[in-house]
């Protein structure tokens, strides 16, 4: 399926409430909020700052990740999602944003930033998801289902 060459305006319509935070390379980057005031979701739009349109070349996806605003850094691979730019990208983008939002909460122990991560270590729990806190490493329990 062909990549859709959407405009900046079309991208912004698909991402209500987003604010433009700058550029990365030649693409516009946006931020949308989560339930935690210290965490946003950064969205790399693939819209070229020169042309105002999504780049037609390559297989670039729309990349989005959880971002810790006060530390100025992403929350790592665990918090990164991609959406391809073929037909239907707007709905898939909305679903991915909702899924990222669902992985953030206030840490019930210390009030810091709690996020869902997956166990990476080899063993019976590999891939299992759990809550933990990025501030103090508080354990928030397994995410069942």
By beta-carbon proximity to Zn ion, the closer residue of 33 and 112 is 112
Distance CA 116, CA 144 (A): 11
Is residue 106 part of the contact set for Zn ion (CB under 5 A)?
A: no
CB neighbours of residue 5 within 10 Å:
15
Is residue 138 part of the contact set for Zn ion (CB under 5 A)?
A: yes
Q: What is the DSSP letter of 68?
A: E
Give the residue, chosen from 22, 136, 139, 142, that forms a contact with Zn ion under the rule CB under 5 A.
136
Cβ pair 30, 20 in contact under 8 A: yes
Is residue 109 part of the contact set for Zn ion (CB under 5 A)?
A: yes
Is residue 110 part of the contact set for Zn ion (CB under 5 A)?
A: yes
Give the residue, chosen from 68, 97, 100, 133, that forms a contact with Zn ion under the rule CB under 5 A.
133
How many helices (H) and strands (E) the chain has is answered by 2, 10
Site for Zn ion in 112-131 (CB under 5 A): 112
Is residue 33 part of the contact set for Zn ion (CB under 5 A)?
A: no
**φ and ψ of 69, to 5 deg:** -60, -45
Is residue 104 part of the contact set for Zn ion (CB under 5 A)?
A: no
By beta-carbon proximity to Zn ion, the closer residue of 77 and 136 is 136
Site for Zn ion in 61-100 (CB under 5 A): none
Cβ pair 82, 65 in contact under 8 A: no
Collapse the DSSP code of 46 into the 3-class scheme (helix H, G, I; strand E, B; otherwise coil) and give the result.
strand
Is residue 139 part of the contact set for Zn ion (CB under 5 A)?
A: no
Binding site for Zn ion (CB under 5 A): 107, 109-110, 112, 133, 136, 138
């Amino acid at each position: 399926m062909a990549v859709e060459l959407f405009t900046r305006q079309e991208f912004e319509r698909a991402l209500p409430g987003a604010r433009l935070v700058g550029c990365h390379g030649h693409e516009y980057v946006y931020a949308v909020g989560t339930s935690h005031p210290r965490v946003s979701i950064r969205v790399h739009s693939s819209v070229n700052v020169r042309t105002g349109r999504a780049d037609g070349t390559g297989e670039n996806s729309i990349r989005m990740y959880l971002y810790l605003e006060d530390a100025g850094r992403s929350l790592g691979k665990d918090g990164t999602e991609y959406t391809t730019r073929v037909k239907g990208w707007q709905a898939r983008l909305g679903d991915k944003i909702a899924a990222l939002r669902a992985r953030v909460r206030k840490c019930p122990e210390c009030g810091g930033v709690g996020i869902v991560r997956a166990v990476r270590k080899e063993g019976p729990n590999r891939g299992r998801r759990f809550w933990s806190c990025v501030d103090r490493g508080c354990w928030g329990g397994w995410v069942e289902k």
